[in-house]
Amino acid sequence: MSVPRHWRESVKRYRLIGSKCKACGKVHYPERTVCPLCKSRELEPFQFKGNGKIYSYTIIWAPPEGYEYCKPYAAALVELEEGEIVTTQLTDCDLEKIEIGMPVEIVLRKLFAYGESGIIVYGYKFRPVLPIL
């Protein structure tokens, strides 16, 4: 993928923009050009709310290169309110208090930095829903 295309597409990633099929109404993330359910090509952009619950998770103790700064961390499958399941990293939480079914919300956070250049890449992560004060 070219660098310009990467940055154009990244907006859809951190804003959780997917697609909605005009024929059957099914929503998809990431964005699709063909509905896998009904095979329609009539899809429109769809903005997910960014709220959901933990479907499953694991704690990463030996992270891949570039993620050493945040070990240990939790990786999770989050079921969005709209029904799609996304893979994400959990943040701003006590690893020992994570539970399946816990409500979570999207936040923008640092994902990693490119080697010696230090260019920081941001993206979405999820955190436990904060109580309203």
Return the pLDDT at 131.
Answer: 78
pLDDT tops 90 at residue 42: yes
Domain match, 55 and 113 both: yes
> What average pLDDT score do residues 16-37 get?
94
Domain match, 43 and 58 both: no
**8 A C-beta contact, residue 108 and residue 123:** yes
User: What whole-number distance in Å separates Cα of residue 9 and Cα of residue 27?
Assistant: 18
Domain match, 3 and 33 both: yes
Quick one: which of 130, 131, 129 has its CA closest to 52?
129
119 or 47, which is more confident?
A: 47
State the CB neighbour count (10 A cutoff) for residue 119: 9
Strand locations in 9-117 (E): 17-21, 27-28, 43-47, 51-60, 73-80, 85-90, 103-114
Return the pLDDT at 122.
Answer: 80
Q: Which domain holds residue 11?
A: 1-47
Encode pLDDT of 78-105 as tens digits.
999 999 999 999 999 999 999 999 999 9
